[in-house]
Amino acid sequence: MSDPDTNYWLTEECARAFWDQRQGVPYQELARHTALLLEPATGERWLDLGCGRGELTAILWQRSEGRVGEIVAMDCNPVNAEALDRLRARLRPAPGPEQIRFLTGNFSEGLPQLPDGHFHGIVSGLAISYAESRDPVTGRYTDLAYNRLLGEMFRVLKPGGRLVFSVNVPHPNLWRVFWKSLKAAFRISKPFRTLMNALRMQSYGRWLRREARSGRFHYFPMDEIARRLEAAGFRDLQHRLSFAGQAYLVAVRKPALGSAEAA
């Protein structure tokens, strides 16, 4: 990791390393907590933003019992399409051809390929903090892409739509996540591979924390996240700690038409 400007999220090695995080106890905790906030109804359209290997897509599918209308699983790394193909093959009931689709897109650039008011819900796991933007004049990183992404998520939601997402706390201690996952690593079918990927994730974690200190990525405290969500138009904030205390899990809603907040 010698080039400070590289975005490792776009590399195949980084994507594959993070596929194994689902094996860890803290990630399973976060997945359970997230699932409790997801109530996809029959025919609804959902966006899984920064989908990775599609764990939250699978939760949406299971929670709707296969009745959801559409899940768009979007990620900046095209290798995750491979993981989504394998996910589709094992889901039951089997999804129809239009019910789950993968879309390559870098949300740092917004969500231009998605139409206004299309989704009933958005879910995102440990992703939106990595919206990055750089001032072309000063060369310094800014929070422009992060704020734009909040606005874009508001735009593509239907009135009354909900957003459920997790983000790391400021100065996350990812070694706490690692040690809580270690025992589970030796109870699975490929413990050595999982352990090696966990160590790789620690290396990427050092990069992420370093870049957050530079302002490239954004590990905000909860009151700052709340302020920015409100500025984007979201209401009805709920939040809790999860992921071995290293992530906030947040739920908000776009005001319905006719509500006082939407007026």
Q: How long a stretch of residues is the chain?
A: 263
The 10 Å Cβ neighbour count of residue 160 is 14
Containing 49, the helix (H) or strand (E) segment is strand 45-49
Q: What is the pTM of this model?
A: 0.90
Measured distance CA(263)–CA(261) in Å, rounded:
6
Domain positions in the chain are 8-253
Each residue's pLDDT, cut to its tens digit, for the chain (263 residues) gives 556 678 877 887 877 777 666 667 888 999 999 999 999 999 999 999 999 999 999 999 999 999 999 999 999 999 999 999 999 999 999 999 889 999 999 999 999 999 999 999 999 999 999 999 999 999 999 999 999 999 999 999 999 999 999 999 999 987 666 556 655 554 555 554 555 555 566 667 788 889 999 999 999 999 999 999 999 999 999 999 999 999 999 999 999 987 766 65
What is the CATH number assigned to the segment(s) 8-253?
Answer: 3.40.50.150
Give Cβ neighbours of residue 53 (< 8 Å, ≥ 6 apart): 18, 19, 22, 80, 83, 84, 87
Q: Is-contact 12 75, C-beta < 8 A?
A: no
Give me the sign of the Cα torsion angle 16, 109, 235, 221.
positive
Residue 259 is predicted with a pLDDT of 74
Residue 192 is predicted with a pLDDT of 47
> Tokens representing 63?
């929670």
15 phi and psi, to 5 degrees?
Answer: -60, -45
Measured distance CA(110)–CA(106) in Å, rounded:
7
Residue 122 is classified by DSSP as E
251 phi and psi, to 5 degrees?
Answer: -130, 135
Residue 8 is predicted with a pLDDT of 78
pLDDT per residue as tens digits for the range 19-59: 666 667 888 999 999 999 999 999 999 999 999 999 999 99
The runs of H, that is alpha helices, within the chain are: 12-19, 25-36, 55-64, 80-90, 144-156, 174-185, 191-213, 222-232
